[in-house]
């Protein structure tokens, strides 16, 4: 009987992601059967960049997993990417109008097309994909955590007999491994049949999410730990510059007071109105070691960025007072 595989599918960008990639594969190796990684010679802005994944995977840390790692390379994004089922693209006109109306950042349609193309490329070109395989549609900085006794429960959550998609709760740490984002997000997991039925539209899976009791996998069974922008500051800048949308930037104020980098998607006026909303602030999570994957815990000094000023609470009060002065 053919084994039902758990597959982790994600994109790779630059060499500075190596340490997170090591942590991801070492942590997931007990329950993930295969990792399918897609790299492109172009950014989503269609700017040339060097392919480095093959060189990174020569690191000795990956040696015992090489037979389970599958790589895909895109030389050049198509000039015109057709994806009628892509909800991001089909709704782009209305999104662009809202952006222009509210004075938000500029969005480039083709950048999102490129991101959608790369995210789906690996599974679309995977000859080993079975209809009942489980595909985790994640990013490189998202680490799946399942206790050994829950692996069967995890698989049983995804129907074998019909197209099925569900969502894994995702806890995010940003800038450093102990800086907690207060809101919960979700990472999709589906079976091969669902991908086939939806024309491998993996980008829409991550952008059009409606959570209910039927499609949510309990955090007692599995969760995703996301370590977003947990790099040195210069690498954070590089990461932001390669995103599909323009305008995302990180500044010293964001880091000093643990403020989320939201100006790119919200006007300053809206920020002023909602400044007390905890969604906009990060918090030091003193129990972060309790959830830190074992490999990262054993190599904590390698993963701590120490970007955050220890007086971040003082900086936060100063910023809040400044905003109140402008409002009043």
The backbone region for 46, taken as left when phi is positive above 0, alpha when psi lies in -120 to 50, beta otherwise, is left
Q: Which range, of 69-83, 90-104, 293-307, averages the lowest pLDDT?
A: 90-104
pLDDT of 30 strictly over 90: yes
* Residue range 26-40: mean pLDDT, rounded: 97
Bridge partners of residue 34, in order along the sequence: 7
**Whose CA is closest to 195, among 7, 28, 31?**
7
Distances (CA, A) of 315 to 80, 168, 259: 47, 35, 10
- Distances in whole angstroms, Cα of residue 124 to Cα of each of 60, 111, 116: 29, 20, 12
pLDDT band at 63 (very low <50, low <70, confident <90, very high): very high
Q: Is 91 among the domain residues?
A: yes
Q: Which pLDDT score is estimated for 247? A: 55
Residue 34 has what pLDDT?
A: 98
- Kindly indicate the confidence band of residue 299, based on its pLDDT and cuts at 50, 70 and 90: very high
Per-residue pLDDT for 89 more than 70?
no
In a domain, 275, yes or no: no
> What pLDDT shows up at residue 273?
55
Q: Is residue 151 part of a domain?
A: yes
| Domains in the chain, number | 1
Q: How far is CA 235 from CA 155, 169, 241, 250, 272, in A?
A: 36, 27, 10, 11, 29
d(CA 169, CA 166): 10
State yes or no: pLDDT of 35 exceeds 60: yes
Is it the case that residue 88 has pLDDT exceeding 50? no
Q: Which residue, 110, 181, 108, 113, is CA-closest to 142?
A: 181
For 277-286, what is each residue's pLDDT tens digit?
666 788 899 9
**pLDDT reported for residue 249:** 67
In-domain check, residue 274? no
Q: Is residue 255 part of a domain?
A: no
Instruction: For residue 145, give the CATH number of its domain.
Output: 3.90.550
pLDDT at 243: 76
DSSP calls for 256-304: HTTB---TTTS-HHHHHHTTT-GGGB-EE-TTHHHHS-HHHHHTHHHH-
SS3 312: helix
Could you tell me if residue 300 is inside a domain?
no
Position 315 confidence tier, pLDDT thresholds 50, 70, 90 = confident
- Give Cα separations from 197 to 23, 84, 102 (angstroms): 33, 14, 37
Alpha-carbon span 108 to 44, nearest angstrom: 10
Lowest mean pLDDT among 12-26, 81-95, 165-179, 258-272: 81-95
The verdict on residue 266 lying in a domain is no
Confidence of residue 241 (pLDDT cuts 50, 70, 90): confident
pLDDT at 47 over 70: yes
Between residues 161 and 246, which one has the greater pLDDT?
161
% of residues, the chain, pLDDT over 70: 82
Weakest mean pLDDT among 49-58, 88-97, 173-182? 88-97
- Structure confidence at residue 317 as a pLDDT band (50, 70, 90): confident
For the ranges 36-45, 213-222, 228-237, the lowest mean pLDDT is seen at: 228-237
Taking all residues of the chain, what is their mean pLDDT, rounded to a whole number? 84
| Range from 94-98, 104-108, 168-172, 244-248 that averages highest in pLDDT | 168-172
Q: Strand 134-137 vs strand 142-146: parallel, antiparallel, or unpaired?
A: unpaired
pLDDT at 142 over 80: yes
Instruction: Check whether 253 has a pLDDT greater than 60.
Output: yes
Q: Which domain holds residue 167?
A: 6-228
Would you state the pLDDT for residue 144?
A: 98
pLDDT digits (tens, 9 = 90+) for 72-85: 999 999 887 654 33
- In this predicted structure, the answer to whether residue 218 has a pLDDT above a threshold of 90 is yes
Positive/negative CA dihedral, 7, 49, 26, 240: negative
Q: Is residue 285 part of a domain?
A: no
């Amino acid at each position: 009987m053919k084994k039902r595989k758990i597959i982790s599918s994600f994109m790779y960008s630059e060499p500075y992601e190596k340490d997170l990639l090591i942590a991801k594969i070492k942590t997931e190796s007990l329950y993930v059967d295969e990792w399918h990684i897609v790299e492109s010679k172009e950014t989503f802005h269609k700017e040339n960049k060097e392919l480095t994944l093959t060189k990174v995977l020569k690191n000795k840390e990956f040696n015992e997993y090489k037979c389970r790692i599958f790589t895909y390379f895109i030389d050049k994004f198509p000039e015109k990417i057709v994806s009628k089922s892509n909800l991001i693209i089909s709704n782009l006109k209305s999104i662009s109008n809202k952006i222009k109306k509210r004075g938000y950042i500029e969005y480039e349609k083709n950048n999102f097309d490129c991101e959608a193309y790369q995210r789906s490329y690996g599974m679309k070109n995977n000859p080993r994909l079975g209809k009942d395989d489980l595909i985790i549609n994640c990013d490189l900085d998202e680490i799946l955590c399942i206790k050994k006794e829950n692996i069967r429960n995890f698989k049983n959550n995804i129907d074998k007999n019909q197209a099925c998609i569900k969502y894994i709760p995702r806890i995010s740490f940003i800038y450093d491994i102990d800086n907690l984002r207060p809101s919960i997000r979700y990472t999709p997991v589906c079976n091969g049949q669902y991908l086939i039925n939806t024309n491998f539209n993996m980008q829409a899976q991550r952008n059009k999410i409606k959570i209910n009791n039927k499609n949510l996998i309990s955090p007692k069974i599995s969760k995703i730990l996301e370590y977003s922008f947990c790099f040195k500051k210069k690498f954070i800048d590089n990461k932001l510059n390669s995103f599909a949308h323009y305008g995302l930037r990180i500044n010293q104020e964001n880091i000093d007071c643990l403020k989320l980098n939201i100006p790119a998607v919200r006007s300053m006026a809206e920020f002023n109105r909602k400044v007390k909303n905890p969604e906009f602030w990060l918090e030091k999570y003193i129990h972060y070691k309790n959830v830190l994957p074992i490999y990262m815990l054993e190599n904590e000094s390698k993963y701590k960025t120490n970007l955050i000023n220890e007086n971040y609470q003082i900086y936060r009060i100063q910023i809040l007072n400044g905003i109140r002065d402008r409002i009043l």
